[in-house]
Structure 1
Amino acid sequence: MQRIEHIYINGEFVTPHGQEWFDLYNPSTEAVIGQVRLGDAEDAQRAIAAAQAAFPAWSRTTRAERIAALRRMHKAIAAREDELMEAILVEYGAPLVRGRWMATYPADVIAQAIEALESFVFEEQAGAAKVIHTPVGVAGLITPWNSDAGFICNKLATALAAGCTAVIKPSEMSAMQTQVVIEALHEAGLPPGVFNIVNGRGDVVGEEIARNPGVAKISFTGSSAVGQHLVVAGAATMKRVTLELGGKSPTVVLDDADFAAIMPLALQAGFLNSGQACIAGTRILVPRSRLTEFEQAAKAAISQIRSGDPRDADTDIGPMVSRKQWERVQDYIRLGQQEGATLLAGGEGRPEGMNTGWFVKPTIFTHANNQMRIAREEIFGPVLTIIPYD
């Protein structure tokens, strides 16, 4: 069992002041596979102080110096893709194809940051005025569990390219993936304090980042409720706040659509990342005149969608990340039936033959309307809602 005992502050692996240990689970088996020691508010304060101390020197670096640092990051992260892939499969349960994408994405987004930095115009003339883009200060980066390494590298590479230093609070549920990233970034040899990573709870470490006057900017990806709180908490110190929150993306089916051609794409969009994606197309808008035809095609297609072992190449949908998330999805499936939607496929409980693991039956509701919560709220699981339109 892996024990993650350190956080990363000022270029060093340090023991947290926080005393809480958090269990890590394999969502496919429900077995405890590790523990991570969580930081507390004092640890967050130390990390912020380190980032503040590093900011003056880093903010004065040249474009070429930042590009060189980002290239070292890219090389170090790319070298860890296989290790990261293993952590994703064990700790998160992404199916193989999605897991491989998640393992390669961190290096890809660093490469994109390099490309953007190479051409970015830091000074430009606007009439009689000159506009000069300068680093804002310490960036507080708060990332979710559904693509942990990618979000860390994306936000961090962007901040460093801009000349900012950073304090990162990743999801405690993704500590194994985070550890791979920390070790790779350490090997990249960035100056001490330029990036700092503190595992911890959102209401402790995240709260300190939101309220601490030493943080100038927040970039958060997660729930709408937490995003609203961060705006309020950050307002006291006039933080700039960027939020990437929940979604309920639609797939719009037109009246001349070839259902045989589009159905694989519609299901792929809806079940993206096992449904645990803010961009998943979980609302399917279908012409009422062709609703029955679409339902028949969807029911036939979903029967071929397979939930199961993430390591099996035939698996389309992996487990939910945690028991809490599994129960949340089950609650929404019950709610959909209570609201009067018709259950076309799937339903409550685990898929047939699966007694362990936080697996959900691929589920489709139909005859839904926009007043139903299942049509309006983010479920974050493999549950699709068909809404007819005229």
Structure 2
Amino acid sequence: MNSLPLRSVYLGGRWTAPRAVGTIAVENPATGQVVAEVPDCGSEDVWYAVDAARSALPDWSTTGPAQRIAALSALRDALTKSQEELARTVTREMGSPITFSRRVQVGLPVRVLDGFIDALSAATAEERIGHSLVVREPVGVVAAITPWNYPLHQTVAKVGAAIAAGCTLVLKPSELAPLSAYALAELIDGIGLPPGVFNLVPGRGKTAGAALAGDDGVDLVSFTGSLEAGRRIAAAAAPTVKRTCLELGGKSATLVLSDADLEKAVEDGVRSALHNAGQTCSARTRLLVPRHRLDEALDVVHSVVAAHVPGDPEDPACLLGPLVSAQQRERVLGHLARAAADGARRVTGPDPAARPLHAGHFVAPSVWTDVNPSSALAREEIFGPVLAVMAFDDDEDAVSLANQSQYGLAATVWSADTDRAVSVARRLRVGQVDINDAGFNAAAPFGGYKQSGIGRELGRHGIQEFQEVKSLQLPR
């Protein structure tokens, strides 16, 4: 990490000095220490980056599947060779436990690239409809604005899709966790992409991000982050009527039906709520269990939470690291104070506000029951290690509870009867549902209903979000 060109921006295929004079301090959230500084770019650096991307577009947009697959394959191989270094970078910049960083923060992006490689030819294929030839073309210049919670994965999901579609792009990583984006840029610099296909401009969301979203040289904005920030991005993009792909918040649920393996289902639900310290948009932060098995479920919850002791994220045994920032810690604690005031009952875990370590932005896990379905704890995205356990009477009640949210990102349904689980899953207003312990599919479409966003990422569907569709009516 010390060798990364952190005081530079990556424009037109080379590292160069930014126009911005200010810098942003990057903090290790486990220690509170500043570990790096990156440029605090604004509209001028954004303009040069967009210009570089537009200049590269005519040539890159006309490449065929073979050249794009070769570029993605080279990037996948480079990521694979650098996995350990990348995992440690993510852990230091945003606090994921190192074991989780190796397996998910870095392991998942490799699988995402495999999904793009496998899907690229089908995603770009032409189609005949009667006397029309339907072709898919790159949308143009993409602004990729990425979050801090999965900084490498979300970046690769956007960069990989843009390259696969034949687009050029400008990446603006989160100011809280930009270091893995710099590491990725170094890898991209080494695989020989034509200058200007990929550009990196760090900066704050309200300055660099807003400038990108509003730039009339950008054809599509792909943003992952909070609902509030997504609304601002959409507003900034609206005057130029550019397309937006928004992956926003979630308040996902685990539904444990009456015939499910309760212990296995509850263990899975608790782990989902707590991994990455709860800083996951698709985290299943509501655990819905049959009313007559609530006490049994809470016993299982206690045993799982007991293993999630906040600790040093660089320790391979650590399961729960810090939150990303002091601001995020205070936000989560504010939610918990409100939950208590609203009548919810905390049933496990030490005082969340007690600092387990002398420094860092740690919050102990907490589980709550007696949760009013209309309360903030049941409806709002907290983004911390917090779980609401709620009881239901039958499948109809479980579906109703799960759908009582402005969000619609993900869910899991547990049942001994797969057909029953699928029937319930079809009634959930969410973008993806796991049945029992089904694993994440990095090639399947990812995205949400309602205010969880617009569009889909990953695999063929993710590539096609970055394409325009054109009909050529041929002579009959």
Residue in 1 that maps onto 2:184: 181
Q: Deviations over 1:192-249 (max 9, x none)?
A: 1101010001111111111111101111110111112222221211111111100000
- The 8 Å contact of residues 333 and 347 in structure 1, kept in 2 or not, is answered as no
- The 8 Å contact of residues 9 and 17 in structure 2, kept in 1 or not, is answered as yes
Identify which of 137, 141, 144 aligns with 2:144: 141
More moved, 338-347 vs 237-246: 338-347
**In structure 2, C-alpha distance between the alignment counterparts of 1:163 and 1:43, rounded to whole Å:** 23
Residue in 1 that maps onto 2:49: 47
Residue in 2 that maps onto 1:61: 63
- The 8 Å contact of residues 372 and 378 in structure 2, kept in 1 or not, is answered as yes
**In structure 1, C-alpha distance between the alignment counterparts of 2:142 and 2:55, rounded to whole Å:** 13
Residue in 1 that maps onto 2:385: 382
Q: For residue 23 of structure 2, what is the amino acid of its counterpart?
A: W
Residue in 2 that maps onto 1:168: 171
Identify which of 16, 28, 31 aligns with 2:30: 28
Task: Give the C-alpha shift of residue 351 in structure 1.
Answer: 5.2
Q: For residue 71 of structure 1, what is the amino acid of its counterpart?
A: S
Q: Deviations over 1:18-39 (max 9, x none)?
A: 1221111111111121211221
Residue in 1 that maps onto 2:6: 4
Structure 2: runs of 5 or more not aligned = 394-476
Q: Alpha carbons of 1:121 and 1:41: their partners in 2 closer, same or farther (altered >3 Å)?
A: closer
Residue in 2 that maps onto 1:363: 366
Identify which of 223, 229, 233 aligns with 1:226: 229
Q: Deviations over 1:330-384 (max 9, x none)?
A: 1111111011100112364455742322111110010102111011011111000
**In structure 1, C-alpha distance between the alignment counterparts of 2:305 and 2:88, rounded to whole Å:** 28
Question: SS state of the match for residue 141, structure 1?
Answer: strand
Q: Alpha carbons of 1:347 and 1:193: their partners in 2 closer, same or farther (altered >3 Å)?
A: same
More moved, 378-387 vs 225-234: 225-234
Task: Give the C-alpha shift of residue 171 in structure 1.
Answer: 0.7
Question: SS state of the match for residue 137, structure 2?
Answer: coil
**In structure 2, C-alpha distance between the alignment counterparts of 1:303 and 1:152, rounded to whole Å:** 33
**In structure 1, C-alpha distance between the alignment counterparts of 2:341 and 2:381, rounded to whole Å:** 17
Identify which of 120, 125, 129 aligns with 1:122: 125
Question: SS state of the match for residue 236, structure 1?
Answer: helix
Q: Alpha carbons of 1:300 and 1:68: their partners in 2 closer, same or farther (altered >3 Å)?
A: closer
Do residues 207 (structure 1) and 210 (structure 2) align? yes
- The 8 Å contact of residues 144 and 221 in structure 2, kept in 1 or not, is answered as yes
Task: Give the C-alpha shift of residue 174 in structure 1.
Answer: 1.3
- The 8 Å contact of residues 267 and 300 in structure 2, kept in 1 or not, is answered as no
**In structure 2, C-alpha distance between the alignment counterparts of 1:63 and 1:256, rounded to whole Å:** 48
**In structure 2, C-alpha distance between the alignment counterparts of 1:173 and 1:125, rounded to whole Å:** 47
Residue in 1 that maps onto 2:98: 96
TM-score by length of 2: 0.79
Identify which of 320, 326, 330 aligns with 2:329: 326
Number of aligned residue pairs = 390
Question: SS state of the match for residue 173, structure 1?
Answer: coil
Identify which of 101, 116, 131 aligns with 1:113: 116
TM-score by length of 1: 0.96
More moved, 183-192 vs 13-22: 13-22
Residue in 1 that maps onto 2:291: 288
Task: Give the C-alpha shift of residue 297 in structure 1.
Answer: 2.7
In percent, how many aligned pairs have the same letter? Answer: 38
Residue in 2 that maps onto 1:252: 255
Task: Give the C-alpha shift of residue 290 in structure 1.
Answer: 2.1
- The 8 Å contact of residues 91 and 97 in structure 2, kept in 1 or not, is answered as yes
More moved, 25-34 vs 163-172: 25-34
Residue in 1 that maps onto 2:76: 74
Question: SS state of the match for residue 172, structure 1?
Answer: coil
Q: Alpha carbons of 1:124 and 1:19: their partners in 2 closer, same or farther (altered >3 Å)?
A: same
Identify which of 191, 194, 197 aligns with 1:194: 197
**In structure 2, C-alpha distance between the alignment counterparts of 1:238 and 1:266, rounded to whole Å:** 40
Q: Deviations over 1:244-274 (max 9, x none)?
A: 1000000112223333332321211111222
Question: SS state of the match for residue 177, structure 2?
Answer: helix
- The 8 Å contact of residues 352 and 366 in structure 2, kept in 1 or not, is answered as no
More moved, 174-183 vs 241-250: 174-183
**In structure 2, C-alpha distance between the alignment counterparts of 1:64 and 1:297, rounded to whole Å:** 51
Q: Deviations over 1:151-204 (max 9, x none)?
A: 111111111111110011111111221221111111111111101010001111
